[in-house]
């Protein structure tokens, strides 16, 4: 089992680096390529990939230090992936000599003895590396970046945004495996009937205070998507921050709603649920692949009042419809979801924030033109950066006097920054969910 899991992990890490894709996508592709179906192998490979990817800056630093005269980038993708996995297991987890020897034998079986011979001395140096001693020589920001597994520029950013003490809590917590939440789908059955069916599938739940249909999964006997209650559409796997955004929008039965950037369907299906399938939802997204998933979930959850349209929201909307409610959850840097998608933090730069804010600005302006008088615009991201959130809303309000901020209810987060007390922020270390921002604006032209 170890050899198959490591072969899968090496292939997935190689694809992440080569194609700049997420861990989930890479593992899916590698699983199909290697034709591995054993759940235990898949589970071990998933953990190896996620935890190694999470610590990429530290593993790369230790490897380059141990290589001495060469650099990690000098080697092929497969060997680079193996070195990162080996470093995670030995230097960081401190697996010991016996574990290191077993991993080395596994590496030879997968990559060949000639390939491993290139780094035999490096493997020994890595095994006996004392990480704490190595990091003592670094500056505070560099040391914290390596200890919490974040880019140094992002550590500096968090220091400025939150202050050092709060930033350290956020950075540390962002490496913990996040809680899993589900949203009960009352379009299928009453709450108690849904809970009974889910519990019979071996799931233990805890109700989230202040949210209508959101529960934290405290125990599950098997993967949620494999359960009959999931296939029946009785629940949707959805972070509580995302559930909050739909409840802040507060759509009513009979409304005309535009769900911008709708795929893969979390918002659309919850908006429809709150509307009791009465009214109209126009769901917009640019991705054909993601909209295929949207269609599958719409069918599974019994959503009947949503209609899809492929469009680029930086250019135009394929309708002249004025909506009572427009919900915009645009692409973002996802700085609030590093615990779930750690590879994302290594693709970001300081410039990424401003580039993303420009796209969000274009989408926000376009979507605002489709809000009817006395209608609402709800804006949310899973990013913690102020440029993508408060600064964007602040700039928008300056240029659009017909919009005013209103209270975002229910309140489960903390107030927004820059005096935006009506908006909300959620942080992993405070709220045990994705980092998130949500604001609600009312349009009144008279």
Secondary structure letter of residue 432 according to DSSP: S
Structure tokens, 238? 């959805």
CA–CA distance, 442 with 373 (Å, rounded to integer): 9
Contact between 421 and 385 under an 8 Å Cβ cutoff? The reply is no
| Integer angstrom CA distances of residue 310 from 53, 118, 313 | 33, 50, 9
List all residues 6 or more positions away from 34 whose beta carbon is below 8 Å from its beta carbon: 4, 7, 8, 11
Among the residues of 68-151, which ranges form H helices?
Answer: 77-87, 97-111, 113-117, 120-127, 131-135, 140-148
Q: What is the phi/psi pair of residue 245, to 5°?
A: -60, -40
CA–CA distance, 241 with 181 (Å, rounded to integer): 10
Contact between 9 and 49 under an 8 Å Cβ cutoff? The reply is yes
- Rounded to a whole number of angstroms, the distance between the first and last alpha carbons of the chain is 69
Please report how many Cα atoms fall inside a 13 Å half-sphere around the Cα of residue 78, on the Cβ side.
Answer: 14
Question: H or E element: which one contains 378?
Answer: strand 371-381
Positive or negative, the CA dihedral 341, 343, 347, 348 is positive
Task: Tell me, yes or no, if 382 is annotated catalytic.
Answer: yes
- Tell me how far the alpha carbon of residue 273 is from its chain's centroid: 23
Burial annotation 70-86 (CB, 10 A radius, 16+ → b, else e): eebeebeebbbbbbbbb
| Integer angstrom CA distances of residue 346 from 154, 193, 349 | 10, 44, 8
**Angle separating helix axes 56-67 and 39-54, nearest 10 degrees:** 70
Catalytic residue among 243, 332, 367, 382: 382
Structure tokens, 405? 């901020």
**Among 38, 28, 29, 32, which Cα is nearest to 3's?**
38
Residues classed as catalytic: 382
């Amino acid at each position: 089992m170890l050899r198959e899991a490591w072969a899968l992990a090496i292939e997935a890490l190689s694809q992440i680096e080569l194609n700049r894709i997420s861990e989930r996508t890479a593992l899916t592709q590698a699983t199909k390529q290697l034709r591995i179906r054993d759940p235990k192998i898949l589970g071990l490979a998933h953990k190896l990939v996620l935890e190694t990817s999470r610590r990429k800056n530290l593993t790369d630093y230790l490897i380059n230090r141990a290589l001495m005269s060469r650099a990690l980038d000098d080697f092929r993708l497969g060997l680079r992936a193996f070195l990162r996995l080996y470093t995670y297991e030995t230097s960081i987890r401190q697996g010991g000599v016996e574990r290191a020897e077993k991993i080395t034998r596994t590496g030879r079986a997968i990559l060949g003895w000639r390939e491993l011979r290139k780094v035999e001395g490096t493997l020994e140096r890595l095994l006996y590396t004392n990480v704490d001693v190595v990091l003592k020589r670094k500056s505070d920001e560099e040391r914290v970046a390596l200890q919490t597994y974040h880019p140094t520029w992002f550590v500096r950013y968090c220091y400025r945004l939150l202050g050092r003490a709060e930033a350290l809590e956020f950075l540390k917590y962002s490496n913990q495996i996040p809680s899993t939440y589900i949203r009960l789908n009352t379009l299928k059955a009453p709450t108690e009937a849904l809970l009974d069916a889910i519990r019979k599938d071996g799931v233990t739940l805890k109700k989230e205070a202040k949210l209508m249909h959101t529960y934290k999964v405290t125990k599950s006997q098997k993967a949620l998507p494999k359960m009959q209650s999931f296939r029946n559409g009785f629940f949707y796997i959805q972070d509580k921050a995302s559930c909050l955004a739909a409840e802040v929008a507060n759509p009513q039965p009979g409304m005309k709603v535009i769900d911008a950037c709708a795929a893969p369907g979390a918002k659309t299906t919850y908006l429809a649920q709150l509307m009791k399938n009465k009214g109209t939802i126009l769901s917009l997204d640019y991705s054909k692949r993601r909209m295929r998933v949207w269609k599958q979930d719409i069918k599974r959850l019994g959503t009947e009042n949503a209609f899809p349209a492929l469009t680029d929201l930086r250019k135009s909307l394929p309708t002249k419809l004025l909506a009572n409610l427009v919900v915009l959850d645009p692409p973002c840097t996802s700085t609030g979801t590093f615990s779930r998608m750690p590879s994302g933090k290594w693709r970001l730069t300081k410039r990424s924030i401003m580039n993303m804010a420009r796209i969000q600005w274009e989408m926000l302006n376009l979507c605002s033109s489709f809000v009817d008088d006395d209608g609402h615009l709800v804006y949310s991201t899973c990013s913690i950066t102020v440029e993508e959130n408060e600064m964007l809303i602040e700039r928008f309000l300056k240029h659009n006097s017909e919009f005013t901020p209103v209270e975002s209810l229910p309140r489960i987060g903390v107030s927004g920054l820059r005096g935006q007390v009506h908006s909300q922020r959620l942080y992993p270390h405070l709220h045990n969910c994705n980092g998130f921002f949500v604001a609600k604006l009312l349009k009144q032209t008279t």
